[in-house]
Amino acid sequence: MRIILFGPPGAGKGTQAKLIQEKYGIPQLSTGEMFRAAIKNETDLGKRVKSIMESGELVPDQTVVDLVAETLIDPKYDNGYILDGFPRTIAQAEAFDRILEENGNELDTFISLEVEDDELIKRIMARGEGRSDDTPEKVKVRLEVYNNETAPVKNYYEQQGKLSIVNGLGSIDEIFERLTSLLDNL
């Protein structure tokens, strides 16, 4: 299964992706985690994206696409994966379609976790990750960037007939139950 798990910051993508990974045995690929690791390890990429992420802006499309394409070469992704945090722009989605086509693959589903902004802000402020961009002001910037630049990706996949919408409110288990119900019927 090749799955994109989509939604705004704080929607629960990372939490749900880990649960899907455990249940279905397909690896999670989180661009956010890859970038945070690069920053922590002070790689060239990490140094380039640190200030961008701290300002709440998006990392340039080509940098993200290159990172994902390079990562997907690993044979552990041959039987599928869960993308969390990618694609975030139409340009990234189009580039990802080309990557899939070049590898003779296709996307099984694009799942959008739907959560209201007020709830997202509460979740982000409560999760205590200690990220420098987890302040109310910067969270609002991240949500604004998401709504302006990332949300249109949902329409892109809806036009392809790949969109599935899942209510992202409720307990972790309730949301996971909705997701597994959907995935079990693919």
Q: Would you name the residues annotated as active-site residues?
A: 13, 88, 127, 131, 142
DSSP output for 78-129: TT-EEEES---SHHHHHHHHHHHHHTT----EEEEEE--HHHHHHHHHHH--
Tokens of 85: 């945090």
Q: Which residues contact 131 (CB under 8 A, 6 or more apart)?
A: none
Q: Which helix (H) or strand (E) holds 114?
A: strand 109-114
- Give me the amino acid identity at 150: T
Q: In what order do the strands lie in the sheet with 109-114?
A: 28-30, 81-84, 2-6, 109-114, 163-167
DSSP E strands in 2-94: the ranges are: 2-6, 28-30, 81-84
